[in-house]
Structure 1
Amino acid sequence: MKKITLLLIFTFFAILFSCETSTFQDIEQDPAATTQNNSGSTDNTSGSTSGSTTGSTSGTTTTTPNVTYTTDVKPIITNNCIACHFSGGESPALGTYTQVKNAASAGKLLCTIQAQGCRTMPPSGKMSQANINLILLWKTQGYIQ
């Protein structure tokens, strides 16, 4: 009986601590989105075209990109979702900005791509955390088209 109790306790804590969480800071500032080259200028590798830049005392420059549907989110949806979720296909349809925005604001899209208690999408497996973070940042920034 003691072995079963210990096994259950261990399993509970293993599951509890193995879950991945994203805080607002993780979503707001993606360190992989910005790199600094040798000349001191900042290269934004996330594909965004605008953003706010802040300096720090260590000499590095960080950029929080403005994530837009057209530049950042649409390519992710096209590559991972649109094969099944087109108008007339699986629900919800994700072919337009409005359809993706409505699915994201309702929570269903974010639940499924994060695999948090919902059916995991895309069917091939959870998409990269970088793509999920871009969609979360798009939501946080107000669904910019």
Structure 2
Amino acid sequence: MKKKYIAAFGCFVGLLSCEKATVEPINPSAISYNKNVQPIIEAHCIECHLMGSESAELYDYDRVAATVVSGQLEGCLNGDTNFVQMPFDHVLDDSSKNIIYLWIDQGFQDN
């Protein structure tokens, strides 16, 4: 019986010591291409959108900005039926999409 109480107490102490992971919030007034947008593109897009690819090239700021101007980047992310949903293999999480949308709304600066 003592072993059950000791085990239960150990589990209780273990649960108390758990920490919730925190993510540093992004200041929406300070979205940066280099710090916020480019890492998303590198993680989710660049594998298929390299220099010389048949699809939109997203390997540098100028190419990404061109897809913003044409409406292609936003259309591919928001499910617009005039564009193919990207990325192909998974849906980009809402947090990443919102960072890109904020960057576009702020004038998609090269910063």
Same fold (TM over 0.5): yes
- Structure 1 residue 124 and structure 2 residue 89: aligned? yes
Report the secondary structure of 1:65's partner residue. helix
- Offset, 1:44: 4.6
- When you count helix as a share of all residues, which structure comes out higher? 2
Aligned length: 88
Question: Letter of the aligned partner of 2:25 in structure 1?
Answer: T
CA distance in 1, matches of 2:101, 2:93: 13
- Offset, 1:80: 0.6
Question: Letter of the aligned partner of 1:98 in structure 2?
Answer: D
RMSD across aligned positions (CA): 1.9
Paired residues of 1:113 and 1:132 also in contact (CA < 8 A): yes
- Offset, 1:109: 1.1
- Offset, 1:88: 0.9
- When you count strand as a share of all residues, which structure comes out higher? 1
**1:114 aligned to 66, 73, 78, which one?**
78
- Written as runs of structure 1 = structure 2, the 5 A alignment for 1:27-106 is 44-46=24-26, 63-106=27-70
- Offset, 1:65: 3.0
TM-score (norm 1): 0.56
Question: Letter of the aligned partner of 2:29 in structure 1?
Answer: P
| Gap change, CA 1:71 and 1:116, over 3 Å in 2 | same
Paired residues of 1:67 and 1:134 also in contact (CA < 8 A): yes
TM-score (norm 2): 0.71
Percent identity of paired positions between Structure 1 and Structure 2:
29
Report the secondary structure of 1:103's partner residue. helix
Q: Which residue of 2 is the match for residue 16 of structure 1?
A: none
- Offset, 1:91: 1.9
| Gap change, CA 1:142 and 1:105, over 3 Å in 2 | same
CA distance in 2, matches of 1:82, 1:90: 13
CA distance in 2, matches of 1:137, 1:120: 19
